[in-house]
Amino acid sequence: MNSLVRKSAKLQHYEQQVDALKRGCFKDPFSFLGLHAISDTHSEIRCYMPGATNLSIKLAKQTLSCTRYPDSDLFILQLNNKDISAYQLVVDYSDCQVVCEDVYRFESSLDDNAMYLFNEGTLEHAYRHLGAHFIEFSAEEGVRFSVWAPNASSVSVIGEFNHWQRSQHFMRFHPASGVWDLFIPGLTQGQCYKFSITTLSGEVLEKADPFAFKMQQAPGTASVLQARPAAIELTDTMRAQRSKRNAVDAPISIYEVHLGSWQRGAEGRYLTYQELAQRLISYVTEHGFTHIQLMPISEYPFDGSWGYQPVGLFAPTSRFGGLDDFRYFVEQCHLANIGLLIDWVPGHFPSDPHGLHCFDGTHLFEHADARQGFHPDWNTYIYNYDRPEVRSFLVANAMYWLAEFAIDGLRVDAVASMLYLDYSRKEGQWIPNKYGGRENLGAIECLKQVNLRCYGNNPGIMMVAEESTAWPGVTRQVDHDGLGFGYKWNMGWMNDSLHYMQRDPLYRQHHHHELTFSMVYAYSENYILPLSHDEVVHGKGSLIEKMPGDDWQKFANLRAYYAFMWAHPGKKLLFMGSEIAQRNEWNHDQSIDWHLLEHLSHQGVQRTITLLNHVYRREEALHQLDTDPAGFCWIDNQNAQQSIFSFIRFAKKASNYVVVISNLTPAVYHDYCIGVPTAGEFEVILNTDDEQLFGSSVRVFAHTNKTITSSPIATHGQQHSIKISLPALATVYLKKVPDESIN
Alpha helices in 196-300 (DSSP H): 236-245, 273-286
Give 269's contacts (C-beta < 8 A, 6+ positions apart).
none
- The answer to whether 518 touches 497, Cβ cutoff 8 Å, is yes
Residue type, 693: L
Residue type, 467: E
Give catalytic status of residue 466 as yes or no. Answer: yes
DSSP-derived letter for residue 711 is B
Residue type, 613: N
| Count of CB atoms situated within 10 Å of the CB of 692 | 13
Q: In whole angstroms, give the CA distance from residue 263 to residue 275.
A: 10
Q: In whole angstroms, give the CA distance from residue 90 to residue 105.
A: 15
Q: In whole angstroms, give the CA distance from residue 512 to residue 646.
A: 12
**The dihedral sign for the CA sequence 445, 451, 456, 458:** positive
DSSP-derived letter for residue 290 is -
- The answer to whether 616 touches 250, Cβ cutoff 8 Å, is no
Say which of 124, 209, 389, 466 is annotated catalytic: 466
Question: Strand 487-489 and strand 527-531: pairing?
Answer: parallel
Instruction: Please give the backbone phi and psi of residue 281, each rounded to the nearest 5 degrees, phi first.
Output: -65, -40
Give 498's contacts (C-beta < 8 A, 6+ positions apart).
535, 546
Per-residue CA distances from 620 to 14, 154, 528, 653 (Å): 79, 62, 17, 9
- Give, to the nearest 10 degrees, the angle between helix 112-120 and helix 388-405: 110
3-state secondary structure 40-95: CCEEEEEEECCCCCEEEEECCCCEEECEECCCCCEEEEEEEHHHCCCCEEEEECCC
Give catalytic status of residue 413 as yes or no. Answer: yes
Q: In whole angstroms, give the CA distance from residue 465 to residue 347.
A: 12
| Count of CB atoms situated within 10 Å of the CB of 162 | 18
Say which of 413, 514, 579, 619 is annotated catalytic: 413
Side-by-side strand order, sheet with 74-80: 34-37, 42-48, 74-80, 67-68
- The answer to whether 259 touches 326, Cβ cutoff 8 Å, is no
DSSP-derived letter for residue 553 is H
- Give, to the nearest 10 degrees, the angle between helix 600-618 and helix 551-567: 10
Beta strands in 409-555 (DSSP E): 409-412, 462-465, 487-489, 527-531
**H helix or E strand, kind and range, residue 672:** strand 669-676
- The answer to whether 533 touches 258, Cβ cutoff 8 Å, is yes
Q: In whole angstroms, give the CA distance from residue 317 to residue 332.
A: 18
Cis bond leading into 219, ω under 30°? yes
Return the active site residues: 413, 466
